[in-house]
Every structure is written in C-alpha cells, then in structure tokens.
Amino acid sequence: MTNFVSIAGALADETRWRIVRLVMNDALCVCELAEIFKMPQSSVSSHVQVIRKAGLLVDEKCEKWTYFRIAPTHWKMIGSLVDYFQDEKRGQFSRDLTRTKARLARRENSCCPGPRILAQTSKR
C-alpha cells in the first residue's frame, strides 16, 4: 500500500526529486544516474531505494543491471507535481536532461545494456 508520508519523504530531498524527474521519462540504472549527477553509485543507490520503498518505482533487471522508472500508477501524480513546480530548479533540471540525453546516446556502447520492457512503456 502506498503511504502519503513515505511518498512525501521520498520526494522531500532535492537529489531524489531530480531522480524522480529523470526516471519519469526514461528507465535508468544506478550507474547511469551516478554519472549524470556526478555522484558515487552508493549515494545514488541509497536515494533510489528510498524512492523504491515509497512505491514510486517499477524496475526491470537486465543481466546484472536494474533499471528504474516511475510506476505507471504514479505518472499522473508526479506529472502534476512537475507541472505545479515547473519553475523550481529549472536550470538544474535542464542540465540533468542534457547529461541524460548524452548518457543515453552512449548507452549502446557502454556497460549497460538498457531495459527491454520499461523502454517500451509510454509515460502518457
């Protein structure tokens, strides 16, 4: 069961909110997020686990990598929050998106094979 307090707690951290915004559009693994945010994988993994435990993520295991994306049941809620707070941290999110696009462009030649199922699901 999804709990408002756990969701609010998961979204109450700037790094977790940045992760949520990125995995709203694309399924990403921890190593990709770590590269995008220029943070240690262990730190990113800890943030992802808080978001996952709040019930906001679905995941797909491909070989030794696990890809995360916002659960379809939460797309509307997260989308509404993104729309409501659209001006907040616009510059940071723009930089995150630029780094994400660059990282995804290199995915085919990287260690991460990419998701199969989550890549096919449409956000809206």
Q: Over the stretch 59-70, which tens digit does the pLDDT of each residue have? A: 999 888 999 999
So what's the pLDDT on residue 1?
46
Helix segments in the chain, DSSP class H:
4-11, 14-25, 30-37, 41-53, 75-84, 90-105
Q: What is the mean pLDDT of the chain?
A: 89
Short-list 69, 72, 86, 78, CA closest to 26: 69
In this prediction the pTM is 0.87
Give per-residue pLDDT as tens, 95-123.
Answer: 999 999 999 998 888 877 788 778 776 55
* Gyration radius (Cα) of the chain, Å: 14
> Domains in the chain, please, with CATH?
4-107 (1.10.10.10)
So what's the pLDDT on residue 2?
60
Which residues touch 14 (CB under 8 Å, ≥6 apart)? 89
Structure confidence at residue 14 as a pLDDT band (50, 70, 90): very high
